[in-house]
Structure 1
Amino acid sequence: MIGSVQRALRLMEAVASHTDGAPAKQLAREAGLPLPTAYHLLRTLAHEGYLRREKGVFVFGEAAVRLALGGAMQNRRTKIEESLAHWRDSIGVPVYFALYREEEIELVAVADTPYAPAVDEWADFRETGHAHALGQCLLGQLDERTRKDHLDRHPVDRITPYTVRDRGSLLERLGAMGQMQPVIERQEYALGTVCAAIPVTVGSTAGAMAISLPLHQEDRLIPAVEQLRSGVGSLLSSFAFSISI
């Protein structure tokens, strides 16, 4: 064990117990350290950005805030993955969750198994949103200007013989989609695979969940996505935090 690291961590814990910060003498006393040692460690932590001295007291610095945010982000992702794993095991299919954030399609998490593997991302999901169910579901939730901007940056391109043939055909399909109806895609992104996606909108952020199956199991697709959709209401509260990831 490295004693200096242990002592620095005790000081950080002492700082965390004071919302408005605390002076060095108090922190040294609470951490059980000699004052000279505490001063040396506090100066080092401040130099590295983990602490900041304001009006005679020490508070957390930007580096410590980044650590805290990183931990919160990991915790949120873990909760999302646990939720997806629940539905993967309940339905017996791979389950995907994606958001439309910062003007791009973002695949947030996937839950699959060796016996029910997810579709390989052989073509970048962000650039091929027109070709897969997740992307079509997200694009269908965008306003006209945002959707046009996305397709200007990521033009419609046929990546399999079944991909929607052009931008006009895609826009016509998106316009005909029901607000809460599943989006079905058959071999448009990957040959031998069928997919279905449902919208999961929280606040102003477009989200989508999807499942995939091998083509020879296509008869399972609609019942499986309906089972997923029936549980979306109970999942919304779980997914609300994902928007801030």
Structure 2
Amino acid sequence: MASSDTDKPSGGVQSLERAFDLLEHMADAGREVPLSELAKLSGLPMPTIYRLVRTMVNRGYVRQEQSRQYALGPRLIRLGETAGKLVGVWARPHLSRLVDEIGETANMAMLDGDEIVYVAQIPSKHSMRMFTEVGRRVLPHSTAVGKVLLAQLPERQVTDLLRRTGMPAHTEHTITTPAAFIEQLAAVREQGYAVDDGEQELGVRCIAVAVPNAPTMTAISISGPAARVSEARYGEVVPALQGIAAELSAALG
């Protein structure tokens, strides 16, 4: 008779799949969760959940709080940081094709907590230095990638984030009120892309789209001088971005 750990039709190890499912439930919750909630979410019996969670606690991947509830553990941080760097490496060939097609700098960024972090970049051949660089962290309200990612979140979650971070003005064009920002996000959802028109850096225009179905909220963008990244080019740039985003979605999925 097959072992309960290896009876998955996919050939996977069932106990590992269950453990990863529990980690993802904790990540989706974004807070401490009791075992009873994990049982409800996973459909697994309590003894199985307890055994899996205790193993992950012993390894540092899950942390037990004083409340006797559980949360993601600190050992996952190193794995996440390394995975994020590798995602940037995997994305580079795709971004390079985007640069070849559009002729402007291509970027990839993720939402990390309340901030946007740039994980990959291929510069254009034009000699113009911009604020974006790999590892740079910025607040999302003044960037195209930030807008297109926040547009995927419920309005209440966006307003809570803006309350925590504030909306400092980087230029005279930066949106600095939640109401105006929420209104722009509605337009982003409708059109499927976002624009930063000199809101982070004067004279620079960025256009971004989300990478659909990415494991973590991810976007790609092109950026360059507003004179070159003109509104007349949106019909060329947006489909190119969407095509590369679809490729990245398949690669990351």
Bucket of the pairwise TM-score, normalised by the shorter protein: 0.5 to 0.7
Cα separation, partners in 2 of 1:115 and 1:151, compared to 1, 3 Å: same
The code of the aligned residue for 1:236 comes to S
How far has the Cα of 1:129 moved from its partner?
A: 1.2
CA contact (8 A) 1:164 1:170 kept: yes
Q: Which runs of 5+ in 1 are unaligned?
A: 1-60, 241-245
Aligned counterpart in structure 1 of residue 148 of structure 2, from 133, 137, 157: 137
- Hey, what's the Cα distance between the residues in 1 that align with 2:189 and 2:83? 35
CA contact (8 A) 2:106 2:124 kept: no
The code of the aligned residue for 2:252 comes to F
CA contact (8 A) 1:93 1:116 kept: no
- Hey, what's the Cα distance between the residues in 2 that align with 1:133 and 1:187? 10
Equivalence for 1:233: 246
Which has the higher mean CA deviation after the structures are superposed, 109-118 or 135-144? 109-118
Q: Which runs of 5+ in 2 are unaligned?
A: 1-58, 61-74
The code of the aligned residue for 1:137 comes to V
- Hey, what's the Cα distance between the residues in 2 that align with 1:97 and 1:142? 19
How far has the Cα of 1:206 moved from its partner?
A: 2.1
CA contact (8 A) 2:147 2:188 kept: no
Aligned counterpart in structure 2 of residue 83 of structure 1, from 74, 77, 94: 94
- Hey, what's the Cα distance between the residues in 2 that align with 1:94 and 1:138? 19
1:90 aligns to what SS in structure 2? helix
The code of the aligned residue for 2:249 comes to L
- Residues 10-42 of structure 1 show CA distances to partners (whole Å, capped at 9, x for unaligned) of xxxxxxxxxxxxxxxxxxxxxxxxxxxxxxxxx
The code of the aligned residue for 1:139 comes to L
Percent identity over the alignment? 24
How far has the Cα of 1:180 moved from its partner?
A: 5.7
- Map residues 46-195 of structure 1 onto 2, 5 A cutoff: 75-115=86-126, 117=128, 119-121=130-132, 126-179=137-190, 181-195=192-206
1:178 aligns to what SS in structure 2? helix
- Hey, what's the Cα distance between the residues in 2 that align with 1:115 and 1:90? 14
Higher relative contact order (CA 8 A, sep 6+): 1
Cα separation, partners in 2 of 1:152 and 1:82, compared to 1, 3 Å: same
CA contact (8 A) 1:198 1:209 kept: yes
The code of the aligned residue for 2:140 comes to G
- Residues 79-117 of structure 1 show CA distances to partners (whole Å, capped at 9, x for unaligned) of 122221222223211111111234432211111134265
TM-score (norm 1): 0.60
How far has the Cα of 1:207 moved from its partner?
A: 1.6
The code of the aligned residue for 1:232 comes to A
Provide the aligned length of Structure 1 versus Structure 2.
Answer: 176
- Hey, what's the Cα distance between the residues in 2 that align with 1:108 and 1:92? 20
How far has the Cα of 1:197 moved from its partner?
A: 0.6
2:152 aligns to what SS in structure 1? coil
The code of the aligned residue for 2:246 comes to G
Larger radius of gyration: 1
2:207 aligns to what SS in structure 1? strand
TM-score (norm 2): 0.59
- Hey, what's the Cα distance between the residues in 2 that align with 1:136 and 1:203? 16
In angstroms, what is the RMSD of aligned CA positions?
Answer: 3.2
2:142 aligns to what SS in structure 1? coil
CA contact (8 A) 1:213 1:221 kept: no
How far has the Cα of 1:179 moved from its partner?
A: 4.9
CA contact (8 A) 2:211 2:246 kept: no
- Residues 128-149 of structure 1 show CA distances to partners (whole Å, capped at 9, x for unaligned) of 3111111111111112343123
Cα separation, partners in 2 of 1:158 and 1:77, compared to 1, 3 Å: closer
Aligned counterpart in structure 1 of residue 237 of structure 2, from 208, 211, 224: 224
Matched, 1:202 2:213: yes
Cα separation, partners in 2 of 1:125 and 1:79, compared to 1, 3 Å: closer
